[in-house]
Structure 1
Amino acid sequence: MDLVKLCLSPLCSCMQSPVVRQDMNHVFSTKEKLDDLKNAMEQLLAKRNDIQRELDDPQNKGKLLGDELQLWLRSVGEKENKVERLLDEYRKGNCVAGSCSLNCFSRYKISIDAIKLEKEINQLITKQPKIKFTDIPPPKPVPESYRTVGKKISFNVDIARSYLADERVGIIGIWGMGGVGKTTLLKKIRQSLSSDANMGFNHVLFIEASKDTQQEELRKKISESLQLQSDGKEDILNILKTSNFVLLLDNIWEEVDLIDIGIPHPYSDDNSTKQYKHKVIFTTRSEDVCAKMGAGENTIKVKCLESDEAWDLFKDNVNLAVIESDEKFKEIAWQVMETCGGLPLALKVVGKAMSNKKSVQDWKFILNSIKNSGTEVVQGVQESLLPVLKFSYDNLPRNIQEFFLYACILQVLHKDDLLELWMGLGLINNFDNLQQAHHTARQIFKKLEESCLLYSLNDDYVGSHDVIYEMAVWIASDCGMNMNKWIVKQYDRYLEEIPSINAENWRFAKRVIIQGEVELLPILSHQCSDLLCLMIRYNSCFKNIPEGFFNQMPNLTYLNLSYTGIEELPKDIKCLANLQYLDITGTSISSLPKELIYLKKLQYLMFNILNGLVKVDLKYLMSRLQNLKVIDIYPSGWVDLEQLKKSKKHVKAIGMRVVSQEVFQKLSCLPTTQLCLYNLDIISLSFDTLSCKNHGFLQSLRIESCPQLEQIVMNGRETHLNCLTILDVEKLQNIIWKDLSPPEFFHVLDYLFISRSNLDNLTWVLHLPRLSELYIEDCAEIETLFYIKEEREIQQQEVLKHRPTFPALETVIITKLPKLVSISNFALHFPRLEVRQCPNLKKLPFNSGINNNNNQRMIVILGEREWWESLEWDDDTIPSHLRPYFFLDEYSDECTTSRSE
């Protein structure tokens, strides 16, 4: 029946046909159809609740439901989800009661959907399976909130997995307000796919987006996750189109063009791809984005918690003994809990902030303050929760609040970068050595993590939840009153037109942070007296600082121009009389201007020389700058012995190149942090002579062009070395472990580069628990990379059986090893591997199990086609499995050597 004609024809004409009368009944009885649907759903939920009560019976604890009933419960959840969406659609006013306009389309569709859903629900009611249990070991007791919230998450995970198992479903949307638990749900889905029941996916790609993420950045992240050599969409497409994959895309704010980022569309008409499973699951705050992405009805709405559920979660994060000590106390705590609007993140953050409040007066004060903030908590409106969350910030010690704002607003920063920033701003300033500064920073990180305001992405990086980030920005702008107090801009490097910067916004700014491709700074015609921090990083386009630019910021204390294209500092830098921190690492600056002597308060100087081996004449400069605490001119700059002796009294950390025996012999008396030992006439090197035992904190060591060096003795305790480069040390034969077994050493080493040495065995590398990058090149004597030849090594290898080998390793690149014939002489599960110019390597360390290992880390193999075709395999199916990960090597000989620079 043509409904357009139906709605536009006179009513009397329409009613003459029985079919028309039936269609009109659908249009005008939508509410009745929905009421029938709700009644049916209530009956179904009542049956599910009966089952749940039986499950919750203490007699049935430790028992597992049968598969049939689990499937039935999952179906009930799906139907509940669909009913709620249909009711939401009706409530949003898609149909205007009493009118017969084009809205009758919506009424007609909703009625038809309601009838269909009611029929499916009635079938579930009549087909309820019997309850069957299977005995399982009793689970460990968990807090009530985790059982409550965990059930919701598990319920939604089951729905998501049912969508993944449905061949008709390609795109699934998860939506809800910020902080409600969408990311947690997505991670649980990923975790479920990492178990034995991985549903046959070869690739499970978890990609994090953000409000400003561009398509190009998503492509880059996908390429990195697949560990491809380039981030072109064709390269990604070629890998994925003949694979079973699921893309988990977290936190998108607008429609993402899947084809443009190299993702084969799940609904492709290409017959060649229909045999593969292509799935996309994404999270977003907007239901509209779900529609634009093509999720249709295949969506999951993550809702805020009901009061009882919220109370359970809140109790787990406060001092439960205190609030349950008195009914009045409990009543006030309940009211505080309700201000969180059922948002899990707010419940945890506010609960943690209140955990140290032990009097009714404190809780009353907080409750009244929230109520008097003038902001009403509105369900689904995230901004209304900012004043509530602010109390967690207010509860921080005042000296930590500033730490939080920098760590949160800058987002996803390396902990060492944050430490340098905090030190440069004077937030961490009372320390005798760098170890103390790192200890202070660790305590701050711990405090912020315990308050749920910050979390560790891994051991090295920290981040914050989107809602916490928005709260931090709101606080930094004086609760939204002064948006230019902090200026934080991230300019995408893919923009065709480089944007200009508005100078007027700088007038009252205290902090300006710019990252990305910006070519020109604004011409400042006014004083920026409030400006304390200026950070412009990772910008090769930025080459010049306008004349007179620094004249306008007399109170600047922190200046970071690292990894930009600038070639010199302007003379007016002398106007920065209050400057304490200057970082020009990774720039093209080859010399320091004499004007730096006017920076009497300068405490931190970071100057990484890239253009050749230039001696930095710091003698005159350091004699004038008596406040210098940290000098880092590693790896190419050096300081003479006389000046090192003078600076020993006040300098707390030194990074430099060592080119003389005199300086080398004094290293054990100096607080070194980064060292490059260059062209030294030494035969043996003992690690514990490289830094002062009481004040040293050696983190990076580069040994380069030491022609007589034959062995390195690792006998230092409590080392902090995380980067070791051995380059052009052709006589080096041994790296000896003395006194203790290797696991006690280099526990934080994460980068190892060895090139042009005489080493023939690297088995000790297996004992590095944090190693993430390993590069071995041009070592002529290595026949087997990891070779056990001594009894002691065999005993150590026995230890390895009880823990993962290379637990953190992400990249292994072996290049130009002419004698290499095998990777190892024992069983070894290998991570990502790149092989270049190893002509005698005929066998790779993979067995037939790799064909079924869907959770493997990606393998990237580079080489000549003839070499690839000459490889020998234990199983003929292995090469076809690995073939998509083999690439012809188009790199020049200099390519890998440049990695060590």
Structure 2
Amino acid sequence: MDLVSQCVPPLCSCMQSFVTGQDISYVFCTKEKIDDLKNTMEQLLAKRNDIKRVLEDPQNEGKLLGNEVQLWLRNVGEKGNKVEQLFEEYGKGNCVAGSCSINCFLRYKTGRNAFKLKEEITQLTTKQFEIKFIDIPPPRPVSESYKTVGKKISSNLDIASSYLADEAVGMIGIWGMGGVGKTALLKKIKQSLSGDANMGFDHVLFIEASKGIQVEELRKQIAERLNLESSYGKEGIFNDLKISNFVLLLDNIWEEVDLINLGIPHPYSNNNSTNRYKHKVIFTTRSEDVCAKMGAREKIIKVECLEPNEAWDLFKDNVNLDVIESNEKFKEIAWQVMEKCGGLPLALKVVGKAMSNKKSVEDWKFILNTIKNSGISKVQGVEESLLRILKFSYDYLPRNIQECFLYASILGWLRKDDLLELWMGLGLIGDFVNLQQAYGKARHIFKNLEESCLFYSSDDDYVRLNDVIYEMAVWIASNCGMNMNEWIVEKYDLFPNEIPSINADNWIFANRVIMSGKVELWPIWSHQCPDLLCLMIKKNSSFKNIPEGFFRQMPNLTYLDLQRTDIKELPKDIKHLVNLQYLNISGTKISSLPKELVYLKKLQYLICRDLKGLGKVEEDLMSRLQKLKVIDIFPSGWVDSEELKKLKKHNTIKGIGMRVVSKEVLQQLSCFPTTRLWLYNLDIISLSFDTLSCKSHGFFQQLNIESCPQLKELVMNGSRSHLNELDISNVEKLQNIIWTDLSPPEFFHVLKDLFISGCNLDNLAWVLHLPCLSFLHIEDCAKIETLFNIEAREIQQQEVSEHCLIFPTLEFLFITGLRKLVSISNFAWDFPRLASLTVLGCPNLKELPFKGATDNNQRMIDIQCERKWWESLEWDDATIPSHLQPFFVWVKEQNKGKRR
């Protein structure tokens, strides 16, 4: 029996209708239908790219695309998504040949959908239209119906009123992110000055500035508020206001405004004729920098997002309250939606209004699922009224800082140092003489973005941003929703129930692909990815092997980050990445670098940290890469002194991190700008800090000294270091740390982590005042009886000075294996930020150096210890233990503490 007679009867049965020749072709020509669809889609994408090039023409910058082309581009995106879904279903292998009616029906369904999609795409491809642009209108101010609630606005209103009442204050700045309620606060101020409560002002002038507005238009508004002819020039306005008490409320300025050119007497003018009059200016802006330029450096009000309870009140004011209160399920869903708005008042209002006409639980669940899966911007009516207003903050940034913002936002929750490395590798920092200058440029970018309220830095040096700002970043990265394939970002939990597979067909025109978590990538792409510039596959334990041919698909790749994947080697075809400038394979299972790396002539950054088995790098590999700027093979990798001599001739190295295995290598490295060094088993008696890095261009961040049997002294000299981490272990003869040029707090002004183990140091009092120390671990130092022996003079200074805090930033303290330790300190202190204390193997320690005032501090401090030791402790103040939370650890006496 042939295949047709096998398949057609069951197919007819499934369809319950007559099967035509076209239907038969869907079953037996499925692959051909898929191939036809792929070719047709590529033609459509080619046309889209032609249009995209027109859009990116600099002469069209600042213009808004006409509605017809916007609709066409949106339809292209929708068709692309449908094609991707169809390819994914087909790629799962369900449409195999066979007599099973299910297989026949699946092939029929796939073939039919491919045929219909091809026809629809052909219509889009052949559609003719004219590309038109219109000027982008300025963002509309938040409407009068914008209701503000909560303690914050009342507090800010009180602050503004106090400034208005203060005769010495003339300029007041109100700043914050877009949509946070600055305009609402300014209108509240205006309202508070109405009627008899006008505080003696003859004129209260509310002027809407907005981005790009001309001086003439502002003058016209001022003249109208003063009931003057709109043609009045600045002299006429000035003459009218100089003999009046006025307050100018200037809303939504984007740069410094020349008040004199507007005709406004400057509030801080020295003109004697105006001294007896009250002249005040209050303005709102999204930039803290504008506040400074306007002269409001000290009198600034920052408007923050709302706390959850206040956000809930505002959300209820804009959604249908009767619906919420009719059912607990509505309230539960509404609360979750409210949380997704990130406390941003504009988002709460817009999303609330969009939901206000929905009256069924199913509708509300649909909106919640849409928000969870795609973000609040996908709720109907939200995109235009929310994201486009927020985007003006982004539009005002310089081009390179816009890119910095997008990467920082889309990757999310990165440390500042990681972001610096990312921006450098992408070429967004620009040229720099040394890493110190690069860090300075990065700090400027951080400051610019924080001043624009697009993100903020937390105390732990991580960068964070509002959820709605994240959605705006994703929306901008997709060309404002018109091209979802420019940035492809796939993030998954580390341990999902099912490992998703990625259909890479939509990567053909991708510029940037970012993937993290556990995800299957294969089978390998069967097509070129010529537009791919940046590829990040991070923290993916499923990524174990890179098949041959992988890198041939991306000839223009410039940035490759594979860190913390399970790959064991780089394939030989990495030599095809001739445009690669940045390569990061840190934390992988790679144990050697392939000689094919020498073909990467444009490589500037080679980051291979934490490769446990790396060892010596192949001879001449580094020195043949003549554009290398940063080499980081710390802590296991190293090169010999001859290779360092060759690298020195390049004169391009800005930073190098590696293991040091000989005195000759250590001597050579003194001429390099080192970043991280691990001194292992060196035959040295004394070590001077200023010999570890090039004096003029160094940016030394991490030093490990291990198993140096003859080392007796460590000399801290030279200029202030940038050291973040210092690790000294198994240096049994080390007895002395000598300070020459600077004191410990000045020398280690950014040191965060300190680990000392197996040394003969008997006093570590120099550690006490390190201003940034967060983690301290002292282990197996046999001579120590008092860990921090403080002189009486310093104790008195501590008692009288609030600026001389002991351990001002210490969060984690580990004291383990100090057999002779009797006292941690001869002086009790507060530990203002301590979160965890571990004490193990210290049998003679009977007291902890906490002040009795600890009972005023509501923080609980975790204590990791042995129960027997805890019960033997003596307390001068019985209230202290109530703020210490012991967690008992049962360890054998010979066990050491475990380093973090």
Q: CA deviation at 1:392?
A: 2.3
Secondary structure of the corresponding residue to residue 557 of structure 2: coil
Alignment of 1:381-780 (within 5 A): 383=383, 384-458=385-459, 460-521=461-522, 523-612=524-613, 614-617=615-618, 619-648=619-648, 649-780=651-782
Rounded Cα–Cα distance in structure 2 between residues aligned with 1:632 and 1:327? 60
Label 1:350 to 1:474 Cα distance change in 2 as closer, same or farther (>3 A): farther
Q: Aligned partners of 1:591 and 1:881: how far apart in 2?
A: 51
The match for 2:286 is 349
Separation in structure 1 between the aligned mates of residue 289 and residue 162 of structure 2, nearest angstrom:
35
Partner of 2:219: 326
Letter in 2 for 1:849: A
Aligned CA distance change for structure 1 residues 661 and 355 (closer, same or farther; 3 Å): closer
Q: Deviations over 1:500-534 (max 9, x none)?
A: 22312322221111222335455212211111111
> Helix, strand or coil: the match of 2:394?
helix
Q: Which residue number in structure 2 is paired with residue 272 of structure 1? A: none
Partners of 2:449 and 2:396 in 1: CA distance: 11
**Change beyond 3 A, Cα 1:379–1:314:** farther
Gap change, CA 1:848 and 1:615, over 3 Å in 2: same
2:147 aligned residue:
none
* 1:565 to partner: Cα distance: 1.8
Aligned to 2:846: 842
- Aligned equivalents of 2:505, 2:224: Cα separation in 1: 50
**In 2, are the aligned partners of 1:434 and 1:695 still within 8 Å (CA)?**
yes
- More moved, 719-728 vs 623-632: 623-632
Displacement of 1:662 after TM fit? 1.2
Residue identity opposite 1:475 in structure 2:
I
1:408–1:334 distance in 2 versus 1, CA, 3 Å: farther
Q: How far 1:590 moved relative to its partner?
A: 0.5
Matched, 1:807 2:808: yes
Give me the whole-angstrom Cα distance separating, in 1, the residues matched to 2:216 and 2:702. Answer: 50
CA distance in 2, matches of 1:601, 1:559: 13
Higher mean displacement: 347-356 or 494-503: 347-356
How far did 1:540 drift?
3.5
Report the residue type matching 2:876 in the other structure. D
> How far apart are residue 860 of structure 1 and its match?
1.8
> In the aligned structure 2, how far is the partner of 1:849 from the partner of 1:353?
43
Matched, 1:305 2:242: no
How many angstroms does 1:807 deviate by? Answer: 2.1
- Using the TM superposition, give the Cα deviation of residue 625 of structure 1 relative to its aligned residue in structure 2, in angstroms: 1.4
Aligned residues: 597
Note if contact 2:562-2:584 (Cα within 8 Å) is conserved in structure 1. yes
Q: Map 1:183-194 to 2 at 5 A.
A: none
**Is the CA contact 2:590–2:614 (under 8 Å) kept in the aligned structure 1?**
no
| CA separation of 1:490 and 1:330: change in aligned 2, threshold 3 A | farther
What is the CA-CA distance between 1:139 and the residue it aligns to?
A: 12
Deviation by residue 1:121-173 (Cα, 9 ceiling, x = unmatched): xxxxxxxxxxxxxxxxx999697676xx99xxxxxxxxxxxxxxxxxxxxxxx
Q: In structure 2, what is the Cα distance between the partners aligned to 1:526 and 1:892?
A: 62
Cα deviation code 1:455-496 (max 9, x no counterpart)? 222373222222222221111111100112112222112423
CA contact (8 A) 1:521 1:545 kept: no
TM-superposed CA distance for 1:60, in Å, is: 14
Please tell me whether the aligned partners of residues 585 and 607 of structure 2 are also in contact (alpha carbons under 8 angstroms).
yes
Length-normalised TM-score, structure 2: 0.60
Which residue of 1 is the match for residue 104 of structure 2?
Answer: none
For 1:547 and 1:849, the matched residues in 2 are separated by 66
Residues 55 and 705 (structure 1), Cα distance of their counterparts in 2 relative to 1, 3 Å cut: closer
Would the alpha carbon gap of residues 865 and 518 (structure 1) be closer, same or farther in structure 2, given more than 3 Å must change?
Answer: same
Question: Equivalent residue of 2:509, what SS?
Answer: coil
Following superposition, the deviation at residue 630 of structure 1 comes to: 1.0
2-side partners of 1:326 and 1:400: how far apart?
33
Give the AA of the match of 1:863: C
Q: CA deviation at 1:306?
A: 6.9
- Within-5 A mapping of 1:239-318: 305=184, 308-309=187-188
Cα deviations across residues 759-807 of structure 1 (Å, max 9, x unaligned)?
111111112111111111111111111112486x668757865343222
Separation (CA, whole Å) in 2 of partners of 1:448 and 1:314: 27
Return closer, same or farther for 1:397/1:610 CA change in 2, 3 Å cut-off: closer
Name the amino acid aligned to 1:305: A
Letter in 2 for 1:837: G
Shift of 1:347: 6.8
In 2, Cα distance between the equivalents of 1:533 and 1:625?
Answer: 21
Q: Deviations over 1:383-427 (max 9, x none)?
A: 322122222222222232212211222222112111111121122
Whole-angstrom distance in 2 between the partners of 1:692 and 1:804: 33
Cα gap change, 1:774/1:316 in structure 2, threshold over 3 Å: closer, same or farther?
farther
Aligned counterparts of 2:825 and 2:740: Cα–Cα separation in 1: 24
Once the 2 structures are TM-superposed, how far is the Cα of residue 651 of structure 1 from its aligned partner?
Answer: 1.8
Distance between the aligned counterparts of 2:700 and 2:290, measured in 1? 37
Look up the SS of the partner of 2:622 in the other structure. Answer: helix
**What CA distance in whole angstroms lies between the structure 2 residues aligned with 1:140 and 1:785?**
53
Question: What secondary structure is seen at the aligned counterpart in 2 of 1:467?
Answer: helix
Secondary structure in structure 2 of the residue aligned to 1:767: coil
Is the alpha carbon distance of 1:180 and 1:479 closer, same or farther for their aligned partners in structure 2, counting shifts above 3 Å? Answer: closer
Q: Secondary structure at the match of 2:687?
A: strand
Q: Percent identity?
A: 62
Q: 1:785 to 1:406 in 2, by over 3 A?
A: same
**What TM-score do you get using the length of structure 1 for normalisation?**
0.60
What is the distance in 2 between the residues matched to 1:608 and 1:594?
18
C-alpha distance in 1, partners of 2:760/2:686? 14
Mean alpha-carbon deviation: is it higher for 497-506 or for 379-388? 379-388
User: Is the contact between residue 779 and residue 817 of structure 2 (CA under 8 Å) also seen in structure 1?
Assistant: yes
Give ranges in structure 1 of 5+ residues lacking alignment. Answer: 1-50, 63-137, 151-177, 182-301, 340-345, 358-375
Q: Structure 2 counterpart of 1:620, which letter?
A: D
Cα separation, 1, equivalents of 2:402 and 2:161: 47
Alignment deviations for residues 831-855 of structure 1 (CA, whole Å, 9 cap, x no partner): 231112211111122344334421x
Q: Deviations over 1:51-104 (max 9, x none)?
A: 99x999999999xxxxxxxxxxxxxxxxxxxxxxxxxxxxxxxxxxxxxxxxxx
Task: Name which of 778, 787, 790 aligns with 2:789.
Answer: 787
Does the residue aligned with 2:720 lie in a helix, a strand or coil? Answer: coil
Shift in Å, 1:810: 1.4
Are the equivalent residues in 2 in contact too, given 1:349–1:453 (CA < 8 A)?
no
Give SS of 1:624's match: coil
Write out aligned runs for 1:52-451 (5 A): 305=184, 308-309=187-188, 326-328=219-221, 337=252, 348-349=285-286, 383=383, 384-451=385-452
> Which shifted more, 435-444 or 887-896?
887-896
Give the Cα separation in 2 of the matches to 1:638 and 1:329. 69
Question: Who is 2:106 aligned against?
Answer: none
Rounded to whole Å, the distance in 1 between the matches of 2:799 and 2:416 is: 35
- Asked whether the equivalents of residues 145 and 316 of structure 1 are also in contact (C-alpha less than 8 Å), the reply is no
Q: Helix, strand or coil for the counterpart of 2:620?
A: helix
Q: RMSD value over aligned CA atoms?
A: 4.2
2: CA distance between counterparts of 1:500 and 1:448?
Answer: 36
Q: Distance in 1 between matches of 2:819 and 2:621?
A: 49
Secondary structure at 2:441 match in 1: helix
